[in-house]
């Protein structure tokens, strides 16, 4: 059992005791993608106390209660409470209490180590992510003891990383404390951990205490403000309410700031190993959660614009105008395969343009579109230039980096793009859903040209290009079996396996009207529909496996985009079906949808089956219930009237009496209510207050 306590991209992974044992497990205290503390194990008389309970009341806080007996296991004499806070630094308060009627003497020890391993190596200690036996970790560094400050100092070899461990009770380098406790007496130790990268100066104990107080206040205030500002759901369907509230809390916990590009908080991809900017994940999460307000999307777009590729760099898969795939810092950037920025993603660039447009539609703010005009034009130029490698009118990907990702669409595993016979497709590959994103991006860009940048000639040209792409796409990708190919391989052969990518085409609008019903019917038929959601690969495909990452599993975010497409196609009942089944699945996962779960038929397993490596929480999985409910209620911004509309009618019985308060659109808050099977949106009075969501 592991617990992750985090604030932004700084986090601690520990066990149910609160211990960090980074040699035997993928645990530690991390900042800047580097492990600054690899061991922090509490002992009494050389033994580890027995865990009793733990709690995680906020993302940045963890509480642990332990017990220890000296004589009789049935009458433990000592209780130990550990409270851990993570901000930019980490603080732990350890309280030992004598619950017996006699004087107790014991020795409390704290075993501390720091190895400064990079995050990729530590992640591989988790057997679900790698082979622990093959991991080669750096040895723990020999600490120095600063007696004047009562501080232990670790320094890395050849890398400017240091860890300062401040202790509130005098001791020596053994970090052992001889305790003599009267009945009922309590003893407290405060342990502060300061990670330092570069030439910064360490804090003394008093300065550290003041910094931690400020950090905790800031983290508490940020967490409370997020909960107050998020839309609040009331509904007779308790599982939906609990899933909604968990998603709200998870998105709040995954917000982070990007060092060097601090434009405000934006969603990281997932906890704990992906607490960084991921172009595709970040953009889709923002699309899912625009009803929360513009802040996350504005921050994301600014950070992605600031990290947009300027040069052609094959070792990073970078080309001018391309949007980043992954951003890493610290030691991970120094030892990783591509440095701090890697651009091996084909879909983040059109998604950047789609989010810019959708933000504008929800906020009505021309200023942010004008601000980001240059990055947007560079992104569009990439689609028409380097993105279309051979000039055939389709955007393709191919790995150029010596160590990079082979498949660079959202199904980015090695086996993600397969033919019906099970053989793997070779790049360059033009992925189907990416052509849909490009189609949508060009139409949206045309709208911005006409409405904001006032260039109707450019708008007309883009609309003609989009129409030509739609026709060209249908001719090249439509298969005799009545569905769209996953993509085109390096020989322009259709990759003829049936997969969920086709649902994204309905969302983008690239599917001609005469094919919409056939696409929707195929997606919701038993080959694709598991009973919990749409599978990534049809069950009659040679490569189908309900336990393989992209070859038969069910991804919540994938289903949210499919539902968006189904609703756009007029198949609102199918979209509502996805919401119902996803909510039912969430109840089996403590109301927290995982990144992915197995694609076994519901009739066979009766419950959704865990996928071992799934991140929880994971940003676009957390965004799934938010987008699905928005789709089912028919929420859409009316830019002309600067109003929120709720177009749904004939809603199911569970929605009767539903009330969603605090939806953000056009700088105002809205209430969405359901009565007589129809949804209505109305502006809330600015004086109205509402209770923050319970979790």
Residue 684 lies in a domain: no
Last residue of a domain, one of 220, 241, 268: 220
Residue 690 confidence (pLDDT)? 46
Residue 687 lies in a domain: no
Are 191 and 336 in the same domain? no
Are 158 and 203 in the same domain? yes
Does an H or E element contain 79, and which? strand 78-86
Are 186 and 276 in the same domain? no
Taking only the tens place, the pLDDT of each residue in 405-416 is: 999 999 999 999
Taking only the tens place, the pLDDT of each residue in 458-491 is: 999 999 999 999 999 999 999 999 999 999 999 9
Residue 467 confidence (pLDDT)? 98
CA dihedral sign, ordered 675, 676, 682, 685: negative
Average pLDDT over residues 309-326: 97
CA angle in degrees (0–180, nearest 5) for 150-155-158: 165
Are 199 and 245 in the same domain? no
Share above pLDDT 70 across residues of the chain, in percent, rounded to a whole number: 97
**Alpha carbons 289 and 265: distance in angstroms, whole number:** 14
Residue 298 lies in a domain: yes
**Alpha carbons 200 and 212: distance in angstroms, whole number:** 17
> Coil, strand or helix: which one is 328?
coil
Does an H or E element contain 474, and which? helix 456-477
Are 89 and 157 in the same domain? yes
Comparing 18-22, 73-77, 114-118, which segment has the lowest mean pLDDT? Answer: 73-77
Are 398 and 427 in the same domain? yes
Last residue of a domain, one of 189, 220, 251: 220
Does an H or E element contain 84, and which? strand 78-86
Q: Could you write out the DSSP letters of every residue in 176-214?
A: EEEEEE-TT-EEEEEEEEEEEESSPPPP-HHHHHHHHHH
Residue 130 confidence (pLDDT)? 59
Give residue for tokens 């859409």: 636
Beta carbons of 318 and 105 less than 8 angstroms apart: no
Give residue for tokens 């004008």: 370
Residue 75 confidence (pLDDT)? 79
Are 378 and 498 in the same domain? yes
Are 179 and 74 in the same domain? yes
For 404, which DSSP code? S
Residue 548 lies in a domain: yes
> Coil, strand or helix: which one is 540?
coil
Share above pLDDT 90 across residues of the chain, in percent, rounded to a whole number: 88
User: 693: pLDDT confidence band, cut at 50, 70 and 90?
Assistant: very low
Residue 681 lies in a domain: no
Within 10 Å of residue 315's Cβ, how many Cβ atoms? 14
Taking only the tens place, the pLDDT of each residue in 197-253 is: 988 889 998 999 999 999 999 999 999 999 999 999 999 999 999 999 999 999 999
For 315, which DSSP code? G
Within 10 Å of residue 339's Cβ, how many Cβ atoms? 14
- Number of domain units in the chain: 2
Q: The tokens of 125 are what?
A: 């200690």
Are 536 and 666 in the same domain? yes
- What burial letters (b/e) apply to 584-597, b meaning 16+ CB within 10 Å? bbbeebebbbbbbb
Beta-bridged to residue 6, according to DSSP, are 11
Taking only the tens place, the pLDDT of each residue in 538-550 is: 999 999 999 999 9
Residue 338 confidence (pLDDT)? 62
Are 590 and 615 in the same domain? yes
The CATH number for 272's domain is 1.50.10.10
> Coil, strand or helix: which one is 227?
helix
Give pairs for 253-256: CB < 8 Å, separation 24+: 253/6, 253/59, 253/617, 254/617, 254/619, 254/622, 255/8, 255/222, 255/226, 255/296, 256/8, 256/9
Last residue of a domain, one of 185, 200, 220: 220
Indicate the pTM of the whole model: 0.95
Q: The tokens of 25 are what?
A: 């497990």
Residue 253 lies in a domain: yes
Residue 249 lies in a domain: yes
User: 95: pLDDT confidence band, cut at 50, 70 and 90?
Assistant: very high
Measured between alpha carbons, how far is residue 391 from residues 259, 492, 496 in Å? Answer: 38, 13, 23
Beta carbons of 565 and 628 less than 8 angstroms apart: no
Beta-bridged to residue 495, according to DSSP, are 487
Taking only the tens place, the pLDDT of each residue in 640-692 is: 999 999 999 899 999 999 999 999 999 999 999 999 999 999 999 876 644 44
Are 348 and 405 in the same domain? yes
Average pLDDT over residues 375-404: 96
Within 10 Å of residue 606's Cβ, how many Cβ atoms? 9
Residue 484 lies in a domain: yes
**Alpha carbons 479 and 312: distance in angstroms, whole number:** 36
Residue 129 has pLDDT above 90, yes or no: no
User: 388: pLDDT confidence band, cut at 50, 70 and 90?
Assistant: very high
Any idea how long the chain is? 695
Beta-bridged to residue 668, according to DSSP, are 665
Q: Which domain holds residue 287?
A: 230-675
The CATH number for 58's domain is 2.70.98.40
Are 360 and 454 in the same domain? yes
């Amino acid at each position: 059992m592991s617990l992750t306590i985090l604030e932004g991209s700084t986090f601690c992974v520990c066990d149910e005791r609160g211990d960090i044992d980074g040699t035997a497990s993928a645990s530690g205290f991390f900042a800047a993608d580097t492990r600054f503390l690899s061991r922090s194990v509490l002992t009494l008389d050389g033994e580890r106390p027995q865990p009793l309970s733990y709690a995680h009341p906020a993302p940045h806080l963890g509480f642990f209660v332990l017990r220890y007996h000296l004589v009789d296991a049935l009458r433990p004499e000592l209780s130990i409470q550990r409270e851990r806070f993570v901000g930019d630094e980490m603080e732990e308060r350890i309280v030992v209490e004598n619950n017996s009627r006699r004087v107790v003497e014991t020795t409390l020890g704290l075993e501390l180590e720091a190895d400064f391993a990079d995050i990729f190596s530590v992640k591989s200690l988790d057997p679900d992510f790698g082979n622990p036996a093959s991991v080669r970790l750096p040895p723990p560094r020999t600490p120095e003891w600063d007696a004047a400050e009562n501080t232990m100092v670790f320094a890395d070899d050849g890398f400017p990383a240091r860890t300062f461990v401040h202790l509130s009770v005098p001791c020596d380098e053994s970090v052992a404390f001889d305790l003599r406790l009267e009945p009922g007496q309590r003893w407290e130790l405060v342990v502060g951990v300061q990670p330092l990268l570069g030439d910064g100066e360490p804090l003394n104990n008093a300065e550290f205490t003041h910094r931690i107080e400020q950090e905790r206040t800031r983290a508490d205030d940020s967490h409370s403000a997020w909960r107050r500002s998020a839309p609040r759901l009331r509904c007779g369907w308790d599982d939906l309410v609990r899933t909604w509230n968990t998603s709200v809390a998870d998105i709040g916990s995954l917000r982070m700031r990007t060092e060097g590009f601090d434009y405000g908080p934006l969603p990281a991809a997932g906890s704990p190993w992906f607490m960084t900017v991921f172009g595709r994940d970040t953009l889709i999460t923002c699309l899912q959660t625009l009803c929360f307000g513009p802040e996350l999307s504005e921050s994301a777009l600014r950070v992605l614009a600031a990290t947009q590729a300027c040069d052609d760099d094959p070792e990073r898969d970078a080309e001018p105008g391309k949007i980043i795939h992954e951003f890493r810092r610290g030691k991970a950037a120094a030892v990783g395969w591509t440095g701090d920025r890697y651009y091996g993603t084909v879909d983040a660039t059109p998604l950047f343009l789609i989010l810019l447009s959708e933000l504008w539609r929800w906020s009505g703010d021309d200023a942010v579109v004008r601000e980001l005009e240059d990055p947007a034009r560079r992104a569009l130029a990439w689609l028409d230039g380097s993105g279309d490698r051979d000039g055939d009118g389709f955007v393709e990907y191919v790995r150029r980096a010596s160590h990079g990702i082979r498949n660079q669409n959202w199904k980015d595993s090695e086996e993600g793009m397969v033919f019906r016979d099970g053989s793997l497709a070779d790049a360059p590959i033009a992925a189907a859903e990416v052509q849909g994103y490009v189609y949508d991006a060009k139409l949206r860009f045309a709208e911005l040209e006409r409405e904001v940048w006032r260039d109707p000639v450019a708008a007309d040209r883009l609309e003609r290009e989009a129409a030509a792409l739609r026709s060209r796409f249908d001719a090249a990708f439509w298969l005799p079996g009545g569905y769209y190919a996953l993509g085109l391989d390096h020989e322009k052969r259709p990759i003829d396996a049936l997969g969920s990518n086709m649902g994204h085409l309905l969302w983008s609008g690239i599917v001609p009207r005469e094919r919409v019903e056939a696409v929707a019917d195929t997606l919701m038929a038993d080959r694709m529909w598991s009973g919990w959601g749409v599978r990534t690969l049809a069950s009659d495909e040679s490569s189908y496996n309900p336990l393989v990452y992209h070859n038969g599993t069910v991804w919540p975010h994938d289903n949210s985009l499919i539902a968006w497409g189904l609703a756009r196609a007029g198949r609102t009942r199918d979209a509502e079906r996805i919401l119902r089944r996803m909510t039912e699945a969430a109840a089996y996962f403590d109301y927290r949808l995982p990144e992915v779960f197995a694609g076994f038929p519901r009739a066979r397993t009766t419950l959704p089956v865990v996928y071992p490596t799934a991140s929880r929480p994971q940003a676009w999985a957390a965004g799934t219930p938010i987008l699905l409910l928005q789709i089912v209620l028919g929420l859409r911004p009316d830019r002309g009237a600067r109003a929120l509309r709720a177009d749904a009618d004939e809603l199911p019985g569970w929605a009767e009496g539903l009330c969603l308060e605090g939806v953000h659109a056009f700088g105002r808050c809205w209430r969405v209510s359901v009565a007589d099977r129809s949804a209505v949106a109305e502006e809330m009075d600015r004086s109205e207050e509402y209770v923050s969501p319970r979790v």
